[in-house]
């Protein structure tokens, strides 16, 4: 009986009039949603593809294909609603540890779908969305990278919306990269060379025996270091796997600012770590150009962030965990997330003026 009902339902919904009616209803719902506030930046942790495949006795890779279809549907809903940036976790660095055939399947899927997505007139072009690939580029093999670069180049003229594809990504790798490039930027202003008190000059003198090391101040390079240029202990390679120009200050290192405060180096402008703020790091994070993350959605019932958007989740990011598996995720699920987000926005807007009034009142009472 249940089988007959579900078959009948499928027949109706998949018939041309059924499809037309469903599309009309979707448009109506999206139109209604657009009447309220809309998150500017939404991230999806698309979880549950393999469980979806297993429960339907499909190949794992087929589960990922269905996952991509869900992504295309959700992306369209987002852009139609007015979301500016959609960020998706398409491949974690940890995913390289999955069986070879699955990793290969995901690479092929990325290649085929990115070509498709960025073909002129397809979904991204329709909504004026450009593609950006966020993650550890050096871990992507050449044939995939080529397709990704082409996708980015083909859509770079689109300036209404963004699709951030995190591939291969983890937040810790993103933050490490951001810190590394912050340090590189921080050390890059080149001071006047060979001034009598420049660190390199002092180093030269020590090496040539003209100065003993007793009064040696903590050394800060006065010019960007080349790999292997410096053998001292105060600048160290921060990553065992990657020695490409990375420099970290190990725990217990003397604070570089002491140097600049002491003024020992004359007119040399030495980096001051006090100048590194949240905003400095933010500028080096992959999503630096994007609006703050308003909404984070993870499917499949797992309630963890799993190294995704750890920096971007701030005090006003609303995090939603949904039980449904990603390939099943559609407007019927997303609408509740959006409605709840809109409701929470209204609540916090309502609280804000009274909160402010309360503070002002408290202040006037104290005065």
Ligand X SMILES: CC(C)=CCC/C(C)=C/CC/C(C)=C/COP(=O)(O)OP(=O)(O)O
By the criterion CB under 6 A, which residues form the site for ligand X?
A: 46-51, 64, 67-68, 71, 88, 90, 95, 109-110, 113-114, 165, 300
Q: How far is the CB of 92 from ligand X (least distance, A)?
A: 7
Whose CA is closest to 163, among 107, 122, 105? Answer: 122
**How far is the C-alpha of 47 from the C-alpha of 302, rounded, in Å?**
8
Rounded Cα–Cα distance for residues 320 and 52 (Å): 20
Q: Tell me how far apart the alpha carbons of residues 72 and 111 are, in angstroms, rounded to a whole number.
A: 15
What is the CA angle 129-116-336, rounded to 5?
55
Which are the contacts of 93, defined by CB distance < 8 A and separation ≥ 6? Answer: 135, 136, 139, 168, 169, 170, 173
168 versus 271: smaller Cβ distance to ligand X: 168
Query: What is the spatial distance between Cα 336 and Cα 210, in angstroms, rounded to a whole number?
Result: 74
Query: Which residue has its beta carbon closest to ligand X?
Result: 67
Hey, what are 206's tokens? 């020590």
Q: Smaller CB distance to ligand X: residue 95 or 248?
A: 95
d(CA 48, CA 133) in angstroms, rounded, equals: 22
Least distance (Å) between residue 132 CB and ligand X: 12
CB of 113 to ligand X, least distance (A): 4
Nearer to ligand X among residue 118 and residue 268 (C-beta): 118
Shortest CB 57 distance to ligand X, Å: 14
**Shortest distance (Å) from residue 169 CB to ligand X:** 11
Q: Which is nearer to ligand X, 64 or 154 (CB)?
A: 64
Shortest Å, Cβ 53 to ligand X: 8
Task: Give 99 or 196: the residue with its C-beta nearer to ligand X.
Answer: 99
- Comparison of 89 and 341: residue with beta carbon closer to ligand X: 89
Q: What is the DSSP string of 281-320?
A: HHHHSTTTTSPP--EEEE-TT----TTSSTTT--TT-EEE
């Amino acid at each position: 009986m249940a089988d007959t009902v579900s078959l009948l339902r499928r027949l109706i919904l998949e018939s041309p009039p059924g499809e037309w009616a469903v599309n009309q209803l979707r448009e109506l719902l999206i139109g209604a949603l657009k009447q309220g506030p809309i998150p500017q930046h939404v991230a999806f942790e698309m979880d549950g593809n393999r469980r979806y495949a297993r429960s339907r006795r499909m190949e794992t890779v087929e589960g990922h294909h269905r996952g991509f279809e869900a992504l295309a549907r959700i992306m369209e809903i987002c852009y139609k609603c007015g979301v500016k940036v959609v960020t998706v976790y398409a491949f974690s660095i940890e995913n390289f540890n999955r069986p070879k055939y699955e990793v290969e399947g995901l690479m092929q899927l990325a290649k085929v779908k990115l070509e498709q997505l960025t073909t002129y007139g397809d979904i991204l072009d329709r909504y004026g969305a450009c593609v950006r690939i966020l993650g550890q580029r050096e871990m992507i093999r050449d044939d995939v990278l080529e397709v990704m670069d082409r996708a980015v180049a083909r859509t770079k003229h689109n300036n209404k919306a963004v699709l951030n594809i995190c591939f291969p990504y983890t937040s810790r790798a993103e933050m490490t990269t951001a810190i590394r490039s912050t340090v590189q930027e921080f050390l890059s202003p080149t001071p006047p060379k060979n001034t009598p008190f420049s660190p390199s000059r002092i180093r030269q003198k020590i090496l040539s025996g003209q100065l003993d090391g007793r009064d040696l101040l903590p050394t800060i390079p006065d010019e960007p270091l080349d790999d292997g240029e410096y053998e001292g202990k105060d600048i160290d390679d921060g990553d065992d796997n990657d020695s490409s120009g990375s420099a970290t200050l190990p725990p217990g290192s003397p604070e570089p600012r002491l140097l600049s405060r002491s003024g020992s180096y004359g007119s040399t402008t030495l980096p001051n770590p006090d100048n590194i703020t949240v905003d400095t790091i933010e500028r080096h994070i992959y999503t630096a150009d994007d609006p703050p993350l308003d909404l984070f959605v993870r499917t499949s019932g797992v309630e963890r962030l799993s190294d995704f958007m750890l920096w971007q989740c701030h005090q006003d990011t609303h995090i939603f965990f949904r039980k449904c598996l990603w390939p099943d995720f559609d407007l019927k699920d997303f609408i509740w997330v959006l409605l709840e987000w809109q409701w929470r926005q209204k609540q916090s807007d309502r609280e804000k003026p009274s909160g402010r009034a309360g503070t002002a009142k408290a202040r006037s009472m104290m005065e």
